[in-house]
Amino acid sequence: MVSKVIDTYRLHNIRKRYNGRSILDIAQLEIHQGELLSIIGPNGAGKSTLLRLLHFLESPDEGEIHYTGRKIYFPVPLELRRNISMVFQRTVLFNRSVRENVAFGLKVRGVEDRGQVDAVLERLDLRELEHDNARALSGGEAQRVTLAQALVLDPDVLLLDEPTANLDPYNAALIEDIIQAVRERGTSTIVLVSHNVAQAIRLADRVAVVFDGKIAELVEAQGFLDKYKDSRTRAYIEGEIP
Ligand code: ADP
């Protein structure tokens, strides 16, 4: 039997400008259901802007986005946006306990906690901290809470913007393990922006390399270093482009 690849996203002729300057220009991009797509590229290439479009926080100036087969019109209803969770590099947690921070998303959605909060606290090694004030945590602990806030919702799409930037090895490894586990479960589509090229390749099914708002190449993660073709990709991963 041939299994059919379902696309969570299909982008077609997407253009985004800020102050008249072209920031994104994507002719075509499909992101498959259940895959982990890493996006790498230099600072200012447009990676975060692409994540904001995928989160439907901003609309493209031109082009079409299809989400699970349906064309998207802006503004996008909250109900649809709630299937998508974003984890940012810098986190703002509520001045409440770790547990309340993690449970918050369920509460606003009116979803009953049937043990999801406990399960996710356990998975992210936050059990011992659950009654601590979230604002008093270290950077690594806070980032684990942020990931827990996203995972407790069991989102269809998980958008990760530099989720392990500036973290110590313990917290970075823990977060990587969780991302890996979510990917293996296959029920969420994951898009990861990371400056850590080794991590981006290690965790992904495919890697998109972005330069100047364009996808220069889209390469299978397995064997990436032997498969990419663009000379700018080599320059970027060898540290010649900031
Ligand atoms: P990356 O995530 O790859 O570093 P970004 O998507 O953050 O790149 O930014 C791409 C370009 O768009 C940068 O030149 C940035 O300065 C510009 N930019 C991003 N957001 C805005 C905005 N809201 N208004 C104006 N320019 C922006």
Residue nearest to atom 20 of ligand 1 (CA): 49
Query: Has this prediction a pTM greater than 0.75?
Result: yes
The answer to whether position 1 is within a domain reads no
CA 23 / ligand 1 centre spacing (Å): 7
For residue 51 the two structure tokens come to: 């994540």
Say how far apart CA 195 and CA 67 lie, in whole Å. Answer: 26
Give the CATH number for residue 82.
Answer: 3.40.50.300
- 19: exposed, middle or buried (Cβ count in 10 Å: 0-12, 13-18, 19+): exposed
Say how far apart CA 52 and CA 58 lie, in whole Å. Answer: 6
Residue 197, classed as helix, strand or coil, is helix
Residue 242 is predicted with a pLDDT of: 81
Pocket lining: 18 vs ligand 1, CB cutoff 6 Å: yes
Residue 2 is predicted with a pLDDT of: 57
Structural contact between residues 208 and 218, judged by C-beta atoms closer than 8 angstroms: yes
Pocket lining: 49 vs ligand 1, CB cutoff 6 Å: yes
67 CA to centre of own chain: 16
Q: The dihedral of CA 206, 212, 237, 88: what is its sign?
A: negative
Domain that holds residue 219: 7-237
The answer to whether position 131 is within a domain reads yes
The answer to whether position 242 is within a domain reads no
Q: How many domains does the chain have?
A: 1
Pocket lining: 45 vs ligand 1, CB cutoff 6 Å: yes
Q: How many Cβ atoms sit within 10 Å of the Cβ of residue 148?
A: 26
Say how far apart CA 143 and CA 145 lie, in whole Å. Answer: 5
Say how far apart CA 211 and CA 213 lie, in whole Å. Answer: 6
Pocket lining: 23 vs ligand 1, CB cutoff 6 Å: yes
Q: What is the mean pLDDT of each run of 10 residues along the chain (242 residues)?
A: 78 97 97 97 96 96 97 95 90 94 95 96 96 95 95 97 92 94 95 96 98 98 97 95 84
Residue nearest to atom 7 of ligand 1 (CA): 48
